[in-house]
Amino acid sequence: MNHVHSHEQGKHGQQSSTRLVVALSVTLVVLIVEIIGGIISGSVGLLADAGHMFIDSSGLIVALIASRIMLRPRNDIYTWGWGRIEIIAAGVQAGMLFLICLWVAYHAIGRLFSPVSLEFTPMIIAASVGLLANLISLSVLFGGRASSLNMKAAFLEVLNDALGSVAVIVAALGYYFFDWQRADGIAALLVAGLMAPRAILLLRSAVRILLEASPHDVDVADIRKHFATLPYVANVHDVHVSTIRTGVLSLTAHIAIVPQTTDDQRGQLLHRLEACAQQHFQVPILHSTFQLEQEIHGSHENSQH
């Protein structure tokens, strides 16, 4: 089972790397086009989207490195392997997004108070190329967006890039047909507005996992209650559920057994607990550790435990 699990992990890791390489290549091309278009047209909205693309390119590079590192086998030092590198990578990307949000908002507000003339043709061409390229990247990343938090972050980055390109296109059309000079600044603020919530959600998800918070779709109280109904169980305490990496959960629990429980019954209970962890709950918990103990043992445990 471990061999199959490792094989599937490696297969998904290689697929994620391929998707990221394609998306990164497309993003870098668009970045260059938007920087040139933004300078020629004078559009802060287009430059904001280019700044967003720069951060996303950096984020995709971080995600690509993380997807490679995750393939390393576990050892006696990193006993869970390198799976959590994806969480760290997602946190880094969230921090980068916050910085670019501040930069975009600062320049966009300045453009609202001091609008400037724009060059429509290079602005609309660069924004259209950006939108087309983002749609291509989205189609590449779509299939792997649920495989890890790392891939989800990359997918959301490109999705917001596409929305940013749409905003710049609308601003360019508004300037060309209605001489709406502040449309460019509004588009830039919209780009910042698209980035900020994503950065917050991504950072919150990463922090929850790093702080060993129970996953949203796992009810620890329900787990404790269910285990307490099993034969030979007197009570259940010190139940901990945490995320090792996307899709891999770990559970530990102290199971106090009734007096006079035989060794055979203890063995049966242990198998039952492991089966319940893997099959009974909404999310399968493949890694579980149970401490079977007498009820009196709880009085000897550290209260902070």
What sign does the dihedral 135-132-127-178 (CA atoms) show? negative
Residue 158 · residue 134 · CB < 8 Å: yes
Q: Are 71 and 85 in contact (CB under 8 A)?
A: no
Whole-number percent of the chain with pLDDT over 70: 85
CA 73, CA 71: separation in Å to the nearest integer? 6
Residue 290 main-chain phi, psi, to 5 deg:
-120, 135
User: CB within 8 A of 3, min separation 6: which ones?
Assistant: none
Token pair recorded at residue 71: 């393939």
> Mean pLDDT, the chain, as a whole number?
81
| Span 280-304, average pLDDT | 78
Please give the helix or strand (H or E) that residue 239 lies within, else none: strand 233-245
pLDDT of residue 151: 67
Alpha-carbon distance 172 to 179, whole Å?
9
Which pLDDT tens digit goes with each residue over 161-184?
A: 788 888 889 988 988 888 888 888
Q: 4-13, 53-62, 245-254: which range is least confident on average?
A: 4-13
Given a cut of 90, whether residue 246 has pLDDT beyond it is no
Bridge partner list, 255: 236, 292
pLDDT bin (cut points 50, 70, 90) of residue 256 is very high
- Which of 11-15, 61-65, 194-198, 279-283 shows the lowest mean pLDDT across its residues? 11-15
Q: How far apart are CA 169 and CA 300, in angstroms?
A: 68
| pLDDT tens digits for range 126-149 | 888 888 888 887 887 776 666 666
Q: What are the start-end ranges of the H helices in 143-182?
A: 149-178
| CA nearest neighbour of 107 among 54, 46, 156, 160 | 46
Confidence of residue 8 (pLDDT cuts 50, 70, 90): very low
16, amino acid identity: S
DSSP strand pairing (233-245 vs 248-257)? antiparallel
Lowest mean pLDDT among 36-40, 100-104, 238-242: 100-104
What would the mean pLDDT of 273-297 be, rounded to a whole number? Answer: 88
Condensed to tens digits (0 to 9), the pLDDT of residues 261-279 reads: 899 999 999 999 999 999 8
Residue 7 pLDDT more than 50?
no
Residues 206-216 have a mean pLDDT of: 87
User: What's CA 28's distance to the chain center, in Å?
Assistant: 21
pLDDT band at 4 (very low <50, low <70, confident <90, very high): very low
Amino acid at 242: S
pTM for the model: 0.66
For the ranges 100-114, 195-209, 230-244, the maximum mean pLDDT occurs at 230-244
